[in-house]
Structure 1
């Protein structure tokens, strides 16, 4: 068949099950955007290219597939660079397509060229693969190589650009190949290693499942649930893997922040780690809480990238492959020999439930402005498990780790890179991926929210069921705390405060959203309910106590151990 290059690009993405694209159309891309819309794709144009990248990343997390966004040449790709770096650190397979001027422009000896910079060399360090479609008949090989790189080993972003003269050229090509014909799909582990791991699990008296971010982004919850049932052991969440697997909510405990998790780790004689890099937030699996029992504890790691085995700590049995394929292999090996439940499991479940209830009870109430711990409790206490919870912010997220009362199956936040301002674009992208069916709750700080606040209009235009609860202290709350700890109470806090005339609920109304101002805790849950009932995206401006926000962050000492050089 004869097709234009832009048509072929869409064909190749459709073969991967991709049907959503984010970006701001410019002359290089209008034909591609127009055709994608005709084909029934979700075509979303945000207000900033960085938001487009974050939205695409959220789609990838919610679908387990690669996602696509587009940036115009020059400034568009400059705007997208932050999202590119974020996707690299968050291990998100996002395909960034960039426009470029015709190559003759690049090769001319000229000064003062308009909207032009050599992009590929600038962006290459932030991606797994960077390439340019210089000739029309390279389209298949470069797009496929981009997808291959993005989805093989540790997932990550790629950058592909094409000069403006290439996009309209014609190709005579066959139908696109299915993914399994040109890249490794569903890689399994060797049966010898599966048998070895299964035997270690059978022999273990106190195993734990350490579940990370990759379980959520690969959409492997159901198969991990089957394995967890056969192991009959506690599930310990990494700080990045905070989505709760359906059916495992009661025995899933956050590492470092739950006494049940700490006890389970300390007493464990085997750890099966799935979908995690074993990075700083879990002390590389060998420091802090892991020190006890280190001499006897066995480690089984399911990891797609063979070069990652043994990097952060020794591994007894590596299971190299796609966790979506390897976890069912391990379950099959254990099917006829399920373990009896760990004796302490029932007590840990009760202990953790008591912990959450006590936190809800003890979070300071009756204050105006609201205590940030109480904000989190009130905002999350009625949120359903099938909703999508999005986090953003510094101090606000730290309060959220401890005080969140709900256990949603989809939690999206920027854990590894710590990029503020991702929350609203993530929420929009997650809702687009979900088809706007489930409620989306974003809990964020005012500093983070204002990074990409223009995307409220995008949410309103798409009529998304999205409510944002903003903890407003009119400051960079985390940084205020740093000033206080560094220089003492009463010291000058430079460049971290702004006008208390700011009203984010009024800004939301200006974008066509529902807005409400709250300064007492009793009003928070009803305001959220009214926002969801309005049929519009909503913003609840919650005035929080600035002193508590900067000085009373819970588990802050635990959080600091992630960064303390030499302590791990």
Structure 2
């Protein structure tokens, strides 16, 4: 008999799903019946939050939706933080969970894992949350989910299945099939011509590109070069113009140098970005002022109406819109774009304080050693430095959790997911001693998954950033000096290699050797020693 659970697995395979992250439970056993021999790999984290972060890292690195199987009740509340991070950063994630049986859910009678309303909980942090009430619904609910991932703002989707439906006979359902994806939204030709006209009249254009343009690197470059316009990339947009391109400005817009570039531009084209505070004003110093005309390109009509008011708005897929614009604009000749970009970059670098300069050097050592590596950052000092001014060579090679929802403990499981999603690239996890203790047990998950990984562990013996902020605000530090474990013993307990970095050692060589040997290694970097060696 074909059960509903086995049918669901076949339907996922029809959508090219190759990996599922989850912890089996009594309420999801039927989802696992069809996994053996399906061609879908199952990866077991140590905590459902780890499953969500792995799915997030898998999606950001590969561009494909990350998929989780999650048990009813506590499994869902555990994964919720990871789903919220993905929601804030527009990451495609499919969470399939159990829910109590029809007639039992939400009864208040005290059934195992019962919540008053699981769907309403998840509705706050997903594009949509749907409860399957009859097995015939699944095909079109799945089609809706993948339509969100392919042709809308790609946020998480939650589908919950009552446990009594999972084992139902699904033999009468049509063969599992993938619904044809909807066409991506495209801009009106008249609007494209109008923007091209604005571009022809301007003398100092600027493009601001965010994570929503991750698949638009080629037309973005064509448009930037035609306009001779600097391209300022948000944290999630890094690499859209490669490191070293004369028009690339891989820097936080509110920093001195970047804010002036924004203010002095008479046309700003913002594509795939919310223009939100965690990108544009992370330290509360004030968002850059846009004095010129503003054109916004966004796939989400509602989001395009938030924040900065645009003179023109295109509701469109970024790649489609930028391709149309690059064909419509006439090459402008020199507008001093490279000079304006270089001035902004140089001003930002000169303005970095000692901590941020050291953190950036750490990341650039990774880039020097492994230019194709994926760097996954947590909320930790080197990741903050990367948010300010790390120049990734390509899209999807740099991401972190310190923007948007801003979780701790993200980087280790997300790096495991990235390594599974893109197994032919080295993956470097950059995480602090405080953050790693949120998800420390996922070291074991990497061993189970046979995933090579380098963890650069930035150790300042506590919550260093919060301690610094407390002092700056005149608050006596409290609760920030936590017990720091012996990470060498922990690494060896999980069958990882371990090395404490001597600042005199060439980190680039260590990284190359570790990745060539396909090691799982924790490289501990003592903050004070690294700062002292950095001058």
Coarse TM-score class (shorter-chain normalised) = 0.7 to 0.9
Partner residue in 2 for 1:238: 234
Alignment pair present for 1:450 and 2:437: yes
What TM-score does the superposition give when structure 1 sets the normalisation length? 0.83
Partner residue in 1 for 2:472: 485
Gaps of 5+ in 1: 365-369, 550-568
Alignment pair present for 1:412 and 2:409: no
CA distance 1:207–1:396, change in 2 (3 Å): same
Matched residue SS, 1:18? coil
Aligned-residue offset at 1:355: 6.9
1:22 and 1:68 in contact (8 A); partners too: yes
Partner residue in 1 for 2:95: 96
| Counterpart selection for 1:390 from 361, 368, 376 | 376
Partner residue in 1 for 2:332: 339
Aligned-residue Cα RMSD (Å) equals 3.2
| Counterpart selection for 1:471 from 458, 469, 492 | 458
Partner residue in 2 for 1:106: 105
Stretch of structure 1 that moved more, 325-334 or 420-429: 325-334
Determine the C-alpha separation between the residues in 2 that align with 1:8 and 1:246. Answer: 43
Aligned-residue offset at 1:509: 2.1
1:165-184 counterparts in 2 under 5 A? 165-169=164-168, 170-176=170-176, 178-180=178-180, 184=182
Aligned-residue offset at 1:239: 3.1
Determine the C-alpha separation between the residues in 2 that align with 1:377 and 1:307. Answer: 36
CA distance 1:448–1:8, change in 2 (3 Å): same
| Counterpart selection for 1:440 from 418, 427, 448 | 427
Partner residue in 2 for 1:313: 308
Determine the C-alpha separation between the residues in 1 that align with 2:73 and 2:268. Answer: 48
Aligned residues: 524
Matched residue SS, 2:522? strand
Determine the C-alpha separation between the residues in 2 that align with 1:387 and 1:378. Answer: 11
1:337-376 counterparts in 2 under 5 A? 337-346=330-339, 348-349=341-342, 352=345, 372-373=358-359, 376=362
Stretch of structure 1 that moved more, 13-22 or 382-391: 13-22
Gaps of 5+ in 2: none
Matched residue SS, 2:461? coil
Aligned-residue offset at 1:521: 4.7
CA distance 1:442–1:43, change in 2 (3 Å): same
Partner residue in 2 for 1:555: none
Determine the C-alpha separation between the residues in 2 that align with 1:247 and 1:487. Answer: 40
Matched residue SS, 1:103? coil
Partner residue in 1 for 2:58: 59
1:202-221 counterparts in 2 under 5 A? 202-216=200-214, 219-221=215-217
Determine the C-alpha separation between the residues in 2 that align with 1:290 and 1:542. Answer: 34
2:252 and 2:388 in contact (8 A); partners too: no
CA distance 1:132–1:405, change in 2 (3 Å): closer
| Counterpart selection for 2:498 from 506, 511, 515 | 515
Aligned-residue offset at 1:421: 1.0
2:274 and 2:304 in contact (8 A); partners too: no
Matched residue SS, 2:313? strand
Aligned-residue offset at 1:155: 2.7
Alignment pair present for 1:429 and 2:417: yes
CA distance 1:163–1:267, change in 2 (3 Å): same
Aligned-residue offset at 1:412: 1.4
Deviations 1:6-52 (A, max 9, x none): 23323433443332211112344445445344132232111111111
